């Protein structure tokens, strides 16, 4: 029966083998049930394997959460190390970061959604929140540089602007539909963030 889904108790049991597929199943359960309410029994049932088989790949629920958070954060921090985030004017670099954040969010939507839902209740969640603060601090520094360069209004508070940009980007998780939204979505969000949505006036 390997590789064949079976119907059990009204739910589809999906044979999932290997850490990648098991992580995908776990993230789906975390999003549906909430991390705290999800048990290893729920996860093994959803994956269509025994708990002992699940433990062969992951030491427990916390390890699954950590892997999901690492996947989301690795994608975000890779943006900061890209050429577009390291070269050009501060404003050009900010545009690049916002555009690529949206691209990562859409590509890794379930994982980023888990990241945005953490509240610091576990060690992994506290680690993720600290990493998010680090990301926001680096964006705030770029905003400060853009203000100093005269590319943004001088009354803009860098920390507040970074939080507003983060809030705009993160709101995409509430309505993004990978495969259905246009591929231009990252550019659309970046334009809205920096140029507004009103037409230019001559």
Two tokens at 10? Answer: 């009204």
pLDDT in the model for residue 5: 40
Cα–Cα nearest to 124, from 69, 185, 168, 57? 69
- Measured CA to CA, the distance from residue 72 to residue 50 in angstroms comes to 27
Domain 6-58 matching CATH 1.10.3300.10: the answer reads: no
Per-residue DSSP letters for 13-82?
E----SHHHHHHHHHHHHHHH-TTT--HHHHHHHHTS-HHHHHHH-SSHHHHHHHHHHHHHHHHHHHHTS
The domain segmentation of the chain, as residue ranges, is: 6-58, 63-195
pLDDT in the model for residue 7: 38
Digitized pLDDT (tens) for each residue of the chain, 202 residues in all: 334 343 334 444 444 467 788 999 999 999 999 999 999 999 999 999 999 988 889 999 999 999 999 999 999 999 999 999 999 999 999 999 999 999 999 999 999 999 999 999 999 999 999 999 999 999 999 999 999 999 988 888 888 888 889 899 999 999 888 776 667 899 999 998 988 866 766 5
pTM for the full predicted model: 0.84
Q: Which residue is it, tokens 């850490």? A: 19
Residue 196, classed as helix, strand or coil, is coil
Name the CATH code of domain 63-195 (choices 1.10.357.10, 3.40.50.300, 3.40.50.10300, 3.30.365.10): 1.10.357.10
Say if residues 196 and 175 touch (Cβ distance below 8 Å): no
């Amino acid at each position: 029966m390997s590789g064949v889904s079976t119907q059990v108790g009204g739910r589809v049991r999906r044979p999932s083998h290997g850490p990648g597929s098991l992580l995908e199943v776990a993230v789906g359960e975390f999003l549906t049930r909430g991390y705290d309410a999800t048990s290893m029994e729920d996860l093994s049932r959803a994956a269509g394997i025994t708990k002992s088989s699940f433990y062969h790949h992951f030491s427990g629920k916390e390890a699954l959460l950590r892997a999901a958070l690492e996947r989301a954060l690795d994608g975000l921090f890779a943006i900061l190390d890209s050429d577009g985030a390291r070269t050009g004017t501060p404003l050009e670099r900010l545009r690049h970061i916002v555009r690529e954040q949206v691209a990562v969010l859409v590509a890794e939507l379930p994982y980023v959604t888990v990241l945005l839902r953490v509240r610091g209740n576990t060690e992994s969640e506290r680690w993720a929140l600290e990493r998010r603060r680090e990301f926001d601090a680096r964006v705030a520094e770029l905003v400060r540089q853009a203000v100093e360069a005269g590319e943004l209004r001088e009354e803009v508070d860098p920390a507040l602007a970074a939080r507003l940009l983060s809030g705009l980007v993160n709101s995409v998780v509430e309505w993004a539909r990978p495969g259905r939204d246009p591929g231009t979505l990252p550019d659309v969000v970046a334009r809205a963030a920096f140029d507004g949505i009103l037409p230019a006036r001559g």
